[in-house]
Amino acid sequence: MKNLIYCMAFFCLVISTYSSCKNNVADKNRTDTAIETVASSNSLTAPFSVIVSSDTSRPHLPDLQSFVMATSGDTWLMFAGRTNGMHDFADYTEKSFPHQDFNTNIYVCDAKACKTMPVSAIPMPYQSMFRATNLQHYQDGNDLYITGGYGENPNPTNNILEDWDTYNYMAKINVSGMIAAVNSGDRNALNNSMVFGQDAAVEATGGELFKMGDYFYLTGGHKFNGVFSHTSKGSSTQVYLDAVHRFKLSESNGKLVVCDFTKVTDGLSDSLTQFRRRDLPVTTGLQLKSGLLEPSVIMFSGVFTSPQNNIPGLKSDAAFTNPIHIFNDGTYKLDQSYVQGTNIYAAANFTVYDNNTKTLHSTILGGIGDKNGGHGFTNKVLTINTPLSGGNTTETQQDSIPSKHMFGAESNIVLSNAKKIAVSDDVFDITNMSSGEIMQIGTFYGGIEADVLNPGGFGTGLSKASNKLWTVSIKKN
């Protein structure tokens, strides 16, 4: 998950059970349920404007993209990801994901300076995660959970398909403990701050990780093994999750263990499923259930439809357009009232809720997807307005990020301590904001900085990893 705390009409379900904890009885026979939506006009707009401004308060931060981030008070913890820009489309991974551009440090940065410790301080094979790219991560209080990622095989072979892997590793990290260990240079303390595990349920890269109640939700992603190439044949394998993985995590004998694993999916083939998504914007959401707010997760856009796509209205190898709402009971809803055409890629985002109108407003900051059908980098700021009591979802195009270069893709946002709703620490409450009042949302950092709309790789005049900070606020209309 890329948000961090600073301090249709048919409701469908197909769940398959793969593993469970001892003494657990999984629900294998849940039925589909239909709900009604209320028709409305497409006049719903965001009741606020988004203000993005340059922030020069931490010039010492490293250049990182597709990285893991957590916070403890005013101190930031970062690791993994890459130090170059957009991947190349060459015929082998050394050009697409060069060894020298993987981040090999754990960074601890406060407002004045950064301290580092090399990831080599962590034993293999789990060390591999800490220099991989596109891990899934979620911070729950002082606990940081990380899963998967794409990188070098810790046990290299002579088989090119096995030299680069999507990992099935996971870790639970004591954030303040790891920060203290890096600050003191204590490698033993560093390793004592982590609990590791391994399970096929977490094998993914390019997804997002969330938690609702006792369950984690690995939303989207794929398993990519072998060299990354846009043109070579037979040098890689790629399998999309085609689902959201729902599971609990527990500790047993010093290991992190997956429990109660099920899949949330439509059960359709790879060419028909709406869940074939990776590198997508995923936001915290809400639902109204019996008149009460409950948390949810929303999967927006993402890529790519199957080369043999059979979904009506979508082209092959294209972006998805309808949001999927994942609810905290393991059910979902495909929202066909809204077609997303911009900001289709993983980027910093935030969510606000207005109880006056019972509307959720999800904002995506930059990224990729500059216009309908186009995948160029963008500074557009998109707010998607979802009426929880029924009606059509709409969008509001906000003022863009003020820069000639494009920002946002694969960045992280540190949310402020401004007022949140009771059921979610990630959703801002704007119910009682007055006209003209300003609320600070937070600061987003890092990601890919693109010099041009379609760089096609990294380097001078193309793209690079960013250490740029942007302050984000909203102003009530």
User: What's the token pair of residue 55?
Assistant: 């922030």
| Residue 127: strand, helix, or coil | helix
Distance from C-alpha of 56 to C-alpha of 162, rounded to nearest angstrom: 43
**Unique residue bearing structure tokens 């009460």:** 292
- CATH number given to 3-476: 2.120.10.80
CB-CB neighbours of 276 under 10 Å = 24
- From residue 416, alpha-carbon distances to 70, 172, 371, 448 in Å are 14, 24, 30, 23
Tracing tokens 């001892």 back to the chain, one arrives at 22
Against a cut of 0.75, is the pTM above it?
Answer: yes
Cβ atoms of 196 and 190 closer than 8 Å:
no
Contact between 150 and 205 under an 8 Å Cβ cutoff? The reply is: yes
Per-residue pLDDT of the chain (477 residues; tens, 9 = 90+): 555 544 333 334 443 444 446 434 333 322 233 233 333 345 789 999 999 999 999 999 999 999 999 999 999 999 999 998 666 555 444 555 556 678 999 999 999 999 999 999 999 999 999 999 999 999 999 999 999 999 888 776 766 556 778 999 999 999 999 999 999 999 999 999 999 999 999 999 999 999 999 999 999 999 987 665 544 444 668 899 999 999 999 999 999 999 999 999 999 999 999 999 999 999 999 999 999 999 999 999 999 999 999 999 999 999 999 999 999 999 999 999 999 999 999 999 999 999 999 999 999 999 999 886 567 999 999 999 999 999 999 999 999 999 999 999 999 999 999 999 999 999 999 999 999 999 999 999 999 999 998 887 777 899 999 999 999 999 999
What is the Cβ-side half-sphere exposure of residue 210, based on CA atoms within 13 angstroms? 26
